[in-house]
Amino acid sequence: MILRLIFRRVLFLFVVIWCASSIVFIIPRLSKTNAIRERFAELSRTGGFSPDDLEKIIASYSKQFGLDAPLWQQYQDYLGNILHMDFGYSLNRYPMTVTQVIVTAIPSTLGLLLVTTVLSFLIGNFLGALSAWPKAPNWVRAMATPFVLLTGVPPIIMGVLLLFFIGFRLQLLPLGGAHTIGIVPDGSLSSYLDLLLHLILPSLALILGSVGGWVLSMRGMGITIQGEDYVNFAEHKGLTGKVIFRDYYLRNTLLPQATALALALGTVVTSAIVIEGLFGLPGIGQALNSAIRSNDFPVIYGIVLFITAAVATLMVAMEFVYPLLDPRIRNQ
């Protein structure tokens, strides 16, 4: 039973990655823009290439990257390279490979996503559960209201507001970038503290933009289960409010929230990419924006496939986390 479940989920993962890779391959090629020609046309304006030499260089690079082959052959080679985890070279940053571009950019994005996602999930669900718990103090319920009001504000608008009021008007935090000018990121304590200082505003923009949604959904789940038999039975057994809240109330409401977390990861990643561009942070967002502007197909393929595979893998992993939250699934 377990092996069949694992096989089905792994097969689902491969189907998702194949569909995403096919879409990513087709959409950029709907444009009639030749990425290599556009790239060397920019260089020719400053480098002084002759027209004949420029055409020879474009033909040589097109052959090297396989862009002169028929579309079906490009697709076949593309899928074969994905199976070998070979995304090729970047057109814009040649001779850097796509893997090197992703590995260079991933630490900043991963740190930002990990901190903001975990904090917003924990804070939002805890406040949402307390706001629906009948025995919770009124002041605790009131704490959830401001976050709910911020639900309709997109993270990008929240980032602009934080930049203007906290960064520009009050000058309490840096306006952007990963480090202050003059500070070298050498791994010292001062460089890490400077990095954390620069990440406060983008982290707040992502957290404040998503906490309200978790509060609302968790509050709705909490109100739904208040009349369930197992909650009433626990109260009649004489269990303390702390035990009922933790074992019977919070644990049962976390299962659908865990599912929502897996489904929301795509939106979270998109928001983080936009926020990185707004605050000028070096990461996946900046690399993807640069690749889109320069029609760097291999980098676009690699980044989108990396994000798709990561989100799909986390969704599959949530299937095996459910038994830890709900023992009834494990027993079945």
- Domain ranges (residues) in the chain: 98-331
What tokens appear for 37 in the block? 């020609």
Identity (one letter) of the amino acid at 162?
A: L
State the Cα–Cα distance between residues 103 and 97, nearest whole angstrom.
10
Indicate the burial class of 139 (C-beta count within 10 angstroms; 0-12, 13-18, 19 or more): exposed
Render each residue's pLDDT in the chain as its tens digit; 332 residues. 567 777 777 788 888 888 887 887 777 677 666 666 666 666 666 665 566 666 666 676 666 666 666 777 778 877 777 777 777 777 777 777 888 888 888 888 888 888 888 888 888 888 888 887 777 777 777 777 777 777 777 888 888 888 888 888 887 877 777 667 766 666 667 777 777 778 888 888 888 878 888 888 888 777 777 777 777 777 777 777 778 777 777 777 777 787 777 777 767 777 777 888 788 788 887 888 878 777 777 788 788 888 878 777 777 777 777 666 666 665 44
What tokens appear for 301 in the block? 């393929």
Inter-helix orientation angle 98-132/284-293, to 10°: 130
State the Cα–Cα distance between residues 113 and 205, nearest whole angstrom.
12
Distances in Å between the Cα of 301 and the Cα atoms of 126, 138, 288, 309 are 38, 51, 10, 12
- The confidence score (pLDDT) of residue 67 equals 65
Its pTM stands at 0.73
DSSP helix/strand/coil, 170: coil
In 218-241, which positions are buried (b, 16+ CB within 10 angstroms) versus exposed (e)? Answer: bbebbeeeeeeeebeebeeeeeee
DSSP string, 202-265: HHHHHHHHHHHHHHHHHHHHHHHHTT-HHHHHHHHTT--HHHIIIIIIIHHHHHHHHHHHHHHH
Q: Which CATH architecture has domain 98-331?
A: Orthogonal Bundle (1.10)
